[in-house]
Structure 1
């Protein structure tokens, strides 16, 4: 069993010291989704949501959230991100619903990974869709949210779901 690195010898939270780790190219891909009813799908698709272009705003929100992950997740390091991409894809959901799949790809060159940045990006994008469409219907369902892939680093193996 591996040791939990976010706890010190006293069992209290700590930010992990990554200063001794070499800088490598690190990437992460995360996904989330939001299930919406047909009315919301049509409003988003036809750009009829009163608050604006939902997917454009959600994309910017995801990018901003990735850049600020260290500000909202206590033990995350501030990381100079080199690239962030958010993409959207509609899929059929349960009867009368559509599923918006949200994918974030994040990249850096550094001594710690960007998994949390990718996960934060898709979460913020999904929450933004909810916020912009809640006046139409509050029954939207967010999730699941998960890490798809990570690469980089020297001490841990790459991950792919």
Structure 2
């Protein structure tokens, strides 16, 4: 299925909790965006996480899943930590603010559930994602050498709840 953003996007994209019926499209986005995509089963494991959300946007074929975010909460001795595990937007929907929208919703979900900080890992060469995270208050805390299967380093970024 080839989908491009519709000219008539007056209503704008919406973010909602993922449903089982969305998983194949989420997986297809994952495969198209990341060089080492997660397996389908990983998304099934996160299905009930409140921080697993999709962005729907208008396309040529009607409403389509344009992106998603996976975030969860880890109890940590009274200082619960949020973790943005995965965030992706279909290539044809990039530049429309969907990544920002998804990240804002994930952060709000984590903070509503008690996260005092949120962390994530990002490829050291992914400048657009790093800029997005910095715009949302994330700071580079450390670098993990050879974090990814292809040997690329990861930046660990953290946002303290303000």
Q: Same fold (TM over 0.5)?
A: no
Query: What's the TM-score, normalizing by structure 2?
Result: 0.31
Structure possessing the higher relative contact order (Cα contacts under 8 Å, 6 or more residues apart)? 1
